Amino acid sequence: MTTQYNVPDFFACKVFDEQTMRSRLSPEVYQSLKRTIRRGARLDLSLANAVASAMCAWAVENGATHFTHWFQPLTGITAEKHDSFINPAPGGRVIMEFSGKELVRGEPDASSFPSGGLRATFEARGYTAWDPTSFAFIKDKTLCIPTAFCSYGGEALDKKTPLLRSMEALNKQALRILRLFGNEDVTRVTTNVGPEQEYFLVDREMYLQRKDLIYTGRTLFGAKPPKGQELEDHYFGSIKPRVQAYMDDLNEELWKLGILAKTEHNEVAPAQHELAPIYSSTNVATDHNQLTMEIMKKVARKHGLVCLLHEKPFAGVNGSGKHNNWSMATDTGANLLSPGGTPYENAQFLLFLTAVIKAVDEYQSLLRLSVATAGNDHRLGANEAPPAVISIFLGDELSAVLEAIETDSPYEGAAQKKMKLGVDALPRITQDTTDRNRTSPFAFTGNKFEFRMVGSGDSIACANIMLNSAVAEALKQFADDLEGAADFDARLHELIKENIAAHKRILFNGNGYDDSWIKEAVEERGLLNLPTTPDAMSHLLDEKNVEMLLSHGVFKESELRSRYEIQLENYTRTVKIEALTMLDMAKREILPAVESYGASLARAMADKTGIDPALVSVYEKKASADLSHLLDAIDGAADGLAQAVEKLEGAGDITAQAFLIKDEIIPAMEALRKPCDEAETVVAQKYWPFPTYGELLFGV
């Protein structure tokens, strides 16, 4: 690390957090702000002015000259427009000021952000609104204020707004359940997330020699090197000095921003690594993860590296995910997914657990489409990424408990008693009584669920919006049922029993990579297999999904339709850019390289023939013929891809374009890649136009 002081001394030094607010605001203003945050009420202007004045003074003291409303549009990255604090003063001078009005609301130009048809291009007005539940911070001399982003008509144009709505929906329904168990102390239930971030580091000089990495974030060509991850010697291995220096600087920058970076290690693939934070509320975790991805890339440049966040930057080795560890907690400190020590605590735990099972089963399509991108389509189902079929792993003990409840059969942990919730004492359900299942898309890991399908470069907002909403719906149905029950304990037992039986098809503790499981899941259990983004997105507007999301106020119907358009549009544009990049590299780099090497062989053969034809070796004849065949194969495949891309112009609406991409363009890309990768294995190294997999994966 570059600094010589202790981490606690500088942790969150760039964050206007509670400690800073307490020291900068009057007790009255501080308490009013806290009440506003807890209740979600609109800020009084006088209160906003007081907060803004203190925030400005603190930011200026820490070197800030500008402020921005920092938001998360539907591009998947963050956005910011900077305004300086300066205002005119007498005598041609300036003063540094920041008003409450500027704090709580901004008006960025919204015309160029994706809207999915919510607005015409010429309709430029958009609004940002301060989210006081996520602390402001300083980045590059700019005070960044986390905000929600909406259109002139009030439609959400960002990922934060529906995320906050989904958290509120779950809070509302979870409180209803807790009241039924006699819990009157809890006033709020929040979801907490700890997203594990996987990434690759490659040398920047090599990166700049590859158009595919520059334009698309992944390699579109590349033969398998002699050594990949077969020896499993990189996972948790000793971290190389250059990488460790990067990690040290990265940690320092993250800690200054109050981001709880905790764990760092080498991942399975060469050049692959992971960073994991301590859990925080889903809203804050989402903001922090967006910041983390930005800072990872920025710090890498300082070390002559490039951080790759694509889900599958290299074929044949592990892709990168972002494991979304999700739990529910009360404001009194209880984890609702943590087993308890009394009958009621365990009954409450099992009810919340059953709600999650029900939610995942009934809304598996929403969870799948929440992680659907062109990049993640390459990752899912291969090299430690979960398959595209959603299932839940519970482990042996919990599975046995649920089976005993469902069948009214004895369970060994209950001294061979049949278990009736709220009457017989359940066994104390312990954590970590079973191994983890790395092939499961949705695994229970003691007191949380790990949703492993999220892609490395994705915002975690989308997955958590759908997860929160689906669980809120399950809890609502449970509350509706139990609130009218004459005998709560009896109905609780039957409700859990009924739902275990109804949704046990989603439970699977085996190997998710096994082809027989995919067949069983689809043909016998009726689970959805949605391998590509077009397949998954076709379910967003299913009547059941729309009705649920609208009923909880998470989305308006117009917002859902816009997101359908945006996600498919992003998919088609991404793959089209990849296809055009492949054509450019094939025609302008690979074909000339193969031709040049072939020409050099031909000249050598001609020279030998002029002296004595017997001097021409069998190898030279075979190599020359192979190169000639490869030239024709590459040229023909490039023409095929070009023709497929041309079809996009007349393909019709965005749905038709997406399926054309899936059915014709991606297969044409694979057809072009095959002879190009073969050429890499036979063309002399000095002729090959860009760094190989071996150089990229082992070059740091």
CATH 3.10.20.70 fits 7-158, yes or no: yes
Residues facing residue 15 across a β-bridge: 137
**Cα dihedral 540, 542, 545, 546 in deg (nearest 10):** 90
Residue 207 structure tokens: 């990166």
Residue 291, classed as helix, strand or coil, is helix
What are the CA-CA distances from residue 370 to residues 276, 453, 700 (Å)?
Answer: 21, 9, 34
- Specify the pLDDT at position 414: 45
Domain with CATH 3.30.590.10 in the chain: 166-555
Q: List the Cα angle 253/254/256 in 5-degree steps.
A: 65
| Superfamily (CATH) of domain 166-555 | Glutamine synthetase/guanido kinase, catalytic domain (3.30.590.10)
- Specify the pLDDT at position 615: 86
- Among positive and negative, which fits the CA dihedral 215, 216, 218, 222? negative
- Class of domain 570-697 (CATH, top level): mainly alpha
Low pLDDT (below 50) residues in the chain: 1-2, 414-417, 423, 425, 431, 433
- Specify the pLDDT at position 423: 45
What are the CA-CA distances from residue 619 to residues 298, 624, 625, 626, 680 (Å)?
Answer: 48, 8, 10, 10, 17
What are the CA-CA distances from residue 59 to residues 71, 97, 177, 179, 655 (Å)?
Answer: 19, 11, 43, 43, 47
Instruction: Name residue 647's amino acid.
Output: K
E runs forming strands in 222-370: 261-266, 272-277, 280-281, 305-308, 322-330
The CA-to-CA distance between both ends of the chain, in Å, stands at 19
Residue 212 structure tokens: 């595919």
Asked whether the whole model's pTM tops 0.75, one would answer yes
Closest CA relative to residue 21, chosen from 135, 138, 139: 135
Place of tokens 């449970």: 478
Domain with CATH 1.20.120.1560 in the chain: 570-697
Cβ atoms within 10 Å, residue 122: 6
Residue 616 structure tokens: 């021409």
| Residue 422, phi-psi category: left (phi > 0), alpha (psi -120 to 50), beta (remainder) | left
Cβ atoms within 10 Å, residue 227: 13
- Specify the pLDDT at position 88: 85
Identify the H or E element spanning 490: helix 488-503
Diameter of the chain by CA atoms? 104
Give the list of residues 6+ apart from residue 393 with CB closer than 8 angstroms, or none: 437, 440, 442, 443, 444, 507, 508, 509
Q: CA 97 to CA 84: how far, in whole Å?
A: 9
Cα Rg of the chain, angstroms? 28
Over residues 645-668, the pLDDT tens digits come to 999 998 999 999 999 999 999 999
Phi, then psi, of 267 in degrees rounded to 5: -90, -170
